[in-house]
Amino acid sequence: MSMKKLLMISFSLTSLLFSFLYIIPTTTTLLTSSKIPILPLESNQNHNSTLPCFAYLISASKGDVGKLKRLLRSLYHRRNHYLIHLDLEAPEEEHLEMARFVAGEPMFQIEGNVMMVGKPNLVTYRGPTMLATTLHAMALLLRCCRWDWFINLSASDYPLVTQDDLIYAFSELPRDLNFIQHTSRLGWKMNKRGRPIIIDPGLYSLNKSEIWWVIKQRSLPTSFKLFTGSAWTILSRPFSEYCIIGYDNLPRTLLLYYTNFVSSPEGYFQTLICNSDEFRNTTVNHDLHYIAWDNPPKQHPKTLGTRDYRKMVMSNRPFARKFKSNDPVLNRIDRELLRNKRKRGSKPEPGPGPGARRLKNLLLRLMLRRNFVKKQCR
């Protein structure tokens, strides 16, 4: 068989398999976990509907259960919704431990707003299965819950503001805004991302392995413009619905294109939103994460520690990454940023906390014309 025919068959098979992952599964299939009770889908919320609500996807890999529990505790709020994806590679003991943790927390049971993916995906680093998992979670959360913004995090992330402060800071924003860092200046990614063709074994195999590189490369697309940026986003519900429902063919076309794209989460949402006439003017060019990089940047960001604490606070951003498990700086964040220390017997301070004021200052700066309009999809 010629290389050309083999390449065409490989591309078609992976595209087809990826499209199967895109289908919205039934609730029973997604949430079933052996020996663990299924939590109710609809949260029992009777709160002020004028305040925004967030839907979180928290992704974790093998060995991340400890970080996952701590992150979920720090993020939890009865208004929000949380979907946990623990990689299929993680042993059954870790899945059961996390499921028991979710089922055993009284507040989680009362509100019914914390869920686990019962049949998780095998996620390949730099492969499209990362994107498939995000779309999978987005589809379920759209089906079962009411929310305004979708946030994807990993177990290595951590919040720098309380959820009350996050809700307050977002309460006066238009609900159609999308916080998605993007650029059309691909630079080195033009040849390292745009031209190579890869195959993700996680689309069809139960054994985790690295992505496969195809020898032949492809030309850059001409029917749409490529954009790239951060894999960490805060997406509005209208844009999320567009990604899943796809009432024109652009989401599906780009989904099939990015099936064979290296690190597709760093390009799919950026390219989709910036090629959409309806949503391109809703982008805030920022991912709202504090991330420290080496100079010049390496493949992975630097691990944050106590030495970075002041810079994290001064950045006014609501999230930071990446952290080691139980790093001492997390205790300081818990103590000084997420839990206000008050004297015994004192009344809670009225109004938003300092985290809300810091975040609101950042949001106001991002919404200035020179930062908002002039940095959109160019």
Q: Provide the angle, in degrees to the nearest 10, between the axes of the packed helices 237-245 and 129-144.
A: 110
Mean pLDDT score of the chain: 85
- Which pLDDT band, with edges at 50, 70 and 90, does 294 fall under? confident
Cα–Cα separations (whole angstroms), residue 59 to 71, 84, 186, 249 = 11, 6, 27, 28
Return the minimum-mean-pLDDT range out of 122-126, 288-292, 296-300.
296-300
| CATH code of the region 3-36+54-340+351-372 | 3.90.550
What's the predicted TM-score (pTM) here?
A: 0.85
Reading the block at residue 189, the tokens are 């990614």
Mean pLDDT calculated for residue range 162-182: 96
Instruction: Map out the domains of the chain as residue ranges.
Output: 3-36+54-340+351-372
pLDDT interval class at 49 (50, 70, 90): low
Q: To which residue do tokens 């010629």 refer?
A: 2
Q: Answer whether 128's CB lies under 8 Å from 200's CB.
A: yes
The predicted structure's pLDDT at residue 300: 78
- Separation of CA 113 from chain center: 17
**pLDDT score for 37:** 33
- The Cα–Cα gap between 283 and 369 comes to 12
- Condensed to tens digits (0 to 9), the pLDDT of residues 255-283 reads 999 999 999 999 999 999 999 999 999 99
Residue pair 162/338 in contact (Cβ under 8 Å)? The answer is yes
The strand pairing partners of 158, in sequence order, are 320
What pLDDT score was predicted for residue 106?
87
Note the pLDDT of residue 351.
56
> Nearest to residue 57, comparing CAs of 243, 182, 253?
243
Q: Could you read off the pLDDT of 212-261 as tens digits, one per residue?
A: 999 999 999 999 999 999 999 999 999 999 999 988 999 999 999 999 99
- The torsion angles phi and psi of 244, rounded to 5 degrees, stand at -85, -50
CA gap 22, 304 in Å, rounded:
34
Pick 217 or 40 by higher pLDDT: 217
Q: How confident is the model at residue 30 (pLDDT cuts 50, 70, 90)?
A: very low
